[in-house]
């Protein structure tokens, strides 16, 4: 199972098209918000299943700001992250992950990519697909195979 994780596309058409090229082999696309309209557009062009949440720049009352999803026996906690103070620390997010029994936590909002393992939980921020704050625009891929979690970052554009 191959999962593409995208965040913070912010209505940039070039970015959306570049991301779609890079995720063509993925089975699932997860968009972490900013913007929900991008996730909807991408889902119409993506062959697999799409999961998305809203971010701090989205006004979409019918779209959840977080969800828990089980994929291949692994529990994912999916959020944009702004409601958990992720720009300051992962403390609140870790508490929520423990409460949910998550194996993988996906969040965005910071525009900085990160893959961290703590106490058996993978905390993954794909960075920003548009105007990253760490010198590049990026997304993430996760391979789930034989109950192993293998995440990595994919550069969309470097500056």
Percentage of residues in the chain with pLDDT exceeding 70?
Answer: 100
Give the pLDDT confidence of 80-126 residue by residue, as tens digits.
Answer: 999 999 999 999 999 999 999 999 999 999 999 999 999 999 999 99
Delimit the domains of the chain by residue range.
2-158
Residues whose CB is less than 8 angstroms from the CB of residue 111 and which lie 6 or more positions away in sequence, other chains included: 8, 127, 128, 131, 132, 133, 134
Q: Which pLDDT score is estimated for 158?
A: 87
> What's the CATH superfamily of 2-158?
Metallo-dependent phosphatases (3.60.21.10)
**pTM of the predicted model as reported, rounded to 2 decimal places:** 0.97
Which ranges of 29-139 would DSSP assign to H, the alpha helix?
36-45, 91-100
More confident residue, 79 or 130: 79
Q: Which pLDDT score is estimated for 26?
A: 99
For residues 80 and 32, the answer to whether their CB atoms sit within 8 Å is yes
Confidence of residue 135 (pLDDT cuts 50, 70, 90): confident
Angle between helices 13-22 and 36-45 (to 10 degrees): 50
Residue 34 has pLDDT above 90, yes or no: yes
Q: Which pLDDT score is estimated for 145?
A: 96
Residue 157 has pLDDT above 90, yes or no: no
Q: Which pLDDT score is estimated for 159?
A: 81
For residues 141 and 5, the answer to whether their CB atoms sit within 8 Å is yes
Percentage of residues in the chain with pLDDT exceeding 90?
Answer: 93
Residue 154 has pLDDT above 90, yes or no: yes
């Amino acid at each position: 199972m191959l999962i593409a994780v995208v965040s913070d596309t912010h209505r940039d058409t070039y970015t959306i098209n570049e991301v779609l090229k890079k995720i063509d082999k993925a089975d699932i696309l997860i968009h972490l918000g900013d913007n929900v309209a991008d996730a909807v557009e991408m889902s119409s062009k993506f062959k697999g299943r799409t999961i998305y949440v809203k971010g701090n720049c989205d006004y979409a009352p019918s779209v959840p700001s977080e969800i828990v999803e089980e994929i291949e026996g692994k529990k994912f906690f999916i959020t944009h992250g702004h409601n958990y103070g992720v720009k300051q620390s992962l403390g609140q997010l870790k508490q929520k992950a423990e409460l949910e029994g998550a194996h993988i936590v996906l969040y965005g909002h910071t525009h900085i990519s990160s893959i961290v393992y703590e106490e058996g939980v993978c905390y993954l921020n794909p960075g920003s697909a548009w105007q990253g704050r760490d010198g590049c625009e990026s997304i993430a891929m996760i391979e789930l195979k034989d109950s192993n979690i293998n995440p990595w970052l994919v550069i969309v554009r470097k500056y």
